[in-house]
Amino acid sequence: MFRPIAVLTLSSLLLASCQRETQVERANREKILLVGNGDDPKALDPHLVTGVIEHNVIRAVLEGLVADDPEKDTGYPPGAATSWEHNADFTEWTFHLRPGATWSDGAPLTAHDFEFSYHRNLHPDLAAPYAEMLYFIKNAEAFNKGEIKDFKEVGVAVPDDYTLKLTLREPVSYLPGVTRHYSWFPVPKHVVLQFGKMTDRFTKWTEPGNMVSNGPFVLKEWKLNNRLEVTRNPRYWDAANVKLNGIRFIPIENFYSETRAYLAGQIHTGYQVPPDLVDKLKAERPAELHQEPYVGSQFVRLNTTKPGLDNPKVRMALSLALDRKALCDAILKGYQPADSLTPQMGDYKPDPVVGFDPERARKLLAEAGFPEGRGFPRYSLLIRSSGARTTAEALQAMWKQHLGVLIDIQAKDFGSYISAQQSLNFDMAAAGWVGDYLDPSTFLLMWTEGNGNNNTGWSSKTFEGLLNDAAHQADPAQRLDKFKQAELLLMNEQPIIPFAWQARNYLQRPEVGGWHPLLLDNHPWKAVSIDTP
């Protein structure tokens, strides 16, 4: 009876002795980067996914027209295109593709692949969830909605194998930055068609062994919820400058498990550190804890169709009662107190509107008919069941303390949380938004009437007029000025209460090189190295 226990103990000890070299040490020898990636990608087809997790993997295997700069958010190094030019008002762009570039199977990579890719992404039959990202192209939206049937009417032209000409619906001075999003990446026409029709959704072209790519790495292995590994692409145009032999993406959902794995020497870099461990890690491993700005905002969405919340004075009172600095210092470690919605990006810095002013908040609430919070409706703040309850409780306490109003917290699972917001079946909801590219439009366009992400019941013709003016403004400075005016209007109305600009808190080992703070967090994998003696 005791024999199995003895066998188990002995084997455990034997195995324990085999654990001397950590996984990171072994990976250092092999020059393979071990990355905690938060979760498993839903898919690797750039036309079927919408998330950051997927983006992290896809940009290792596929490359767009313009690449990411390892050090600067506004740097636009060449990618599949070697150069590009535009007309005077930024409505026509010509990209010159790299002659001689190939896919990982040796097939030539031409402008026809890009044309095919845009055609596929916009085709109504594929129903690509991020097709909207291509709506900058003339007639792209109409084609995607089935209003026009002939793709030739869409502003994509291929004068020759290595030239791609895009005609846009409006001036877009920041187009190179937009093309760095994976929805603009090429897919290999010859491989996609080998596994099905252009618009077939369920094909096996992205499986290991099938997937052909044009990025610095190629897909090697993918075990669901376990690991996804990419390995060097010898046919990549800049293969000589790729420093890693491979990357292993490990989908660790639980941030405590991820931190433990990091500290146990199982990964080089992680996705996120739990906020309550930030101070401890800052003290113990200051060089390894990274806290960097990220292009995201945290806010409370208000249902402006609810009596009480339909009053801008009430909304502003709720906003001014929040001590954002205290919240960021105590709970949202590394985040910055937000005085507007859009975080600063490039030349765009919105006027500060909201801040902590409890006196003015109480005055506004009294003017709205709720002196000292008396008679204020009992609203509830909707959060995700797996979300940051601590933040919600802090907001709840601040509203109680500074306005004398009681707000309940209502936690729902992800599906119910989203559904409640989209059907306006909520009072207030804690939410966030991450920009897709570095332009204020990615934060402001969502608050237009009918936009599926608005979910506040609020809209303003003046606001939309300003956005429209900005869209048709060719001069970048004047365009940003229109956005500032629009954001000022939005903030004075407060259908949303921004409280923090996001940051990335993560751990990274010192031997990881070529990794610099970037607002979009798109660190080009080819620049990343493992620098061990």
Partner 1 sequence: MFKNLLNRFLQAVLVLFVLFTATFFLVKALPGGPFQSEKAIPQHIRARMEEQYGLKKSLPEQYVIMLKNFITGNPGVSTRLEGREVTEVVAQAFPVSLQLGLVAMFVAVTIGIPAGCLAAAKKNSLIDTGSMTVAMIGICLPSFVTGPLLAEYFGRNLHWFPAMGWSTVNPSTWILPAITLGLAYAAYISRLTRAGMLDTLSQDFVRTARAKGVPGLQIVFRHCLRGGLIPAVAYLGPAFAGIISGSVVIETVFQIPGLGRHFIKAIESRDAGMIMAPVLLFGSLVIAANFVTDLLTLWLNPRLRKSS
Query: Quick check: 55 and 104 in contact, CB under 8 A?
Result: no
Site for partner 1 in 417-456 (CB under 8 A): 418-420, 422, 431-432, 451-453, 455
Kindly tell me which of 265 and 513 has the beta carbon lying closer to partner 1.
265
Q: Nearest distance from residue 455's CB to partner 1, in Å?
A: 8
Helix (H) / strand (E) containing 398:
helix 389-403
Bridge partners of 222?
Answer: 228
Contact mark string toward partner 1, 273..312, x via CB under 8 A = ----------------------------------------
Q: Is 1 in the site for partner 1 (CB under 8 A)?
A: yes
Q: Nearest distance from residue 13's CB to partner 1, in Å?
A: 9
Site for partner 1 in 108-127 (CB under 8 A): 124-125, 127
Termini Cα distance of the chain = 51
Stretch that binds partner 1, among 92-100, 105-113, 320-328, 409-417 (CB under 8 A): 409-417
Q: How far is residue 64's CA from residue 524's CA, in Å, rounded to a whole number?
A: 12
Q: Nearest distance from residue 121's CB to partner 1, in Å?
A: 11
- The residues, ordered by sequence, that sit 6+ positions from 381 with a Cβ below 8 Å of its Cβ are 300, 392, 395, 396, 407, 408, 409, 410, 427, 428, 429, 430
Kindly tell me which of 153 and 413 has the beta carbon lying closer to partner 1.
413
DSSP code per residue over 88-111: TTS-EEEEEE-TT-B-TTS-B--H
Residue with tokens 């291929």, as numbered in its chain: 158
Q: Nearest distance from residue 57's CB to partner 1, in Å?
A: 13
Kindly tell me which of 266 and 494 has the beta carbon lying closer to partner 1.
266
Helix (H) / strand (E) containing 506:
strand 496-507
Q: Choose, by CB under 8 A, the member of 74, 210, 226, 532 that binds partner 1.
A: 226
Interface with partner 1 (CB under 8 A), residue total 64
Q: Choose, by CB under 8 A, the member of 250, 318, 353, 519 that binds partner 1.
A: 250
The HSE-up count of residue 148 (CA atoms within 13 Å, CB side) is 14
Q: Is 83 in the site for partner 1 (CB under 8 A)?
A: no
Q: How far is residue 206's CA from residue 213's CA, in Å, rounded to a whole number?
A: 9
Q: Nearest distance from residue 302's CB to partner 1, in Å?
A: 18
DSSP code per residue over 307-326: TTTTSHHHHHHHHHT--HHH
Residue with tokens 């990419």, as numbered in its chain: 230
Q: Nearest distance from residue 49's CB to partner 1, in Å?
A: 7
Q: Nearest distance from residue 385's CB to partner 1, in Å?
A: 9
Q: How far is residue 519's CA from residue 530's CA, in Å, rounded to a whole number?
A: 22
Site for partner 1 in 341-370 (CB under 8 A): none
Q: Is 472 in the site for partner 1 (CB under 8 A)?
A: no
Kindly tell me which of 87 and 254 has the beta carbon lying closer to partner 1.
254
Kindly tell me which of 46 and 78 has the beta carbon lying closer to partner 1.
46
Q: Nearest distance from residue 483's CB to partner 1, in Å?
A: 20
Kindly tell me which of 391 and 485 has the beta carbon lying closer to partner 1.
391
Helix (H) / strand (E) containing 363:
helix 358-367
**Pairing relation of β-strands 380-384 and 408-412?**
parallel
Query: Quick check: 435 and 49 in contact, CB under 8 A?
Result: no
Task: Assign residue 346 a region (left: φ > 0; alpha: ψ between -120 and 50; beta: otherwise).
Answer: left
Dihedral pair phi/psi, residue 81, rounded to 5°: -100, 140
Q: Nearest distance from residue 476's CB to partner 1, in Å?
A: 26
Exposed, middle or buried by CB within 10 Å (0-12, 13-18, 19+), for 427? buried
> Helix or strand or coil: residue 504?
strand
DSSP state of 182: G
Site for partner 1 in 12-51 (CB under 8 A): 12, 15-16, 18-20, 22-23, 42-43, 45, 48-50
Kindly tell me which of 241 and 419 has the beta carbon lying closer to partner 1.
419
Residue with tokens 């096996």, as numbered in its chain: 204
Q: Nearest distance from residue 156's CB to partner 1, in Å?
A: 19
The HSE-up count of residue 398 (CA atoms within 13 Å, CB side) is 22
Q: Choose, by CB under 8 A, the member of 8, 10, 326, 330 that binds partner 1.
A: 8
The amino acid sitting at 378 is R
Task: Assign residue 251 a region (left: φ > 0; alpha: ψ between -120 and 50; beta: otherwise).
Answer: beta
Q: Choose, by CB under 8 A, the member of 85, 100, 106, 202 that binds partner 1.
A: 202
Stretch that binds partner 1, among 10-18, 236-244, 309-317, 337-345 (CB under 8 A): 10-18
Contact mark string toward partner 1, 129..168, x via CB under 8 A = x-xx-----------xxx----------------------
Site for partner 1 in 254-273 (CB under 8 A): 254, 256-258, 260-261, 263-266
Q: Nearest distance from residue 275's CB to partner 1, in Å?
A: 17
Query: Quick check: 228 and 33 in contact, CB under 8 A?
Result: no
- The residues, ordered by sequence, that sit 6+ positions from 349 with a Cβ below 8 Å of its Cβ are none
Q: Nearest distance from residue 123's CB to partner 1, in Å?
A: 10
Residues engaged in binding partner 1 (CB under 8 A): 1-2, 4-5, 8, 11-12, 15-16, 18-20, 22-23, 42-43, 45, 48-50, 124-125, 127-129, 131-132, 144-146, 201-202, 223-226, 250-254, 256-258, 260-261, 263-266, 413-416, 418-420, 422, 431-432, 451-453, 455
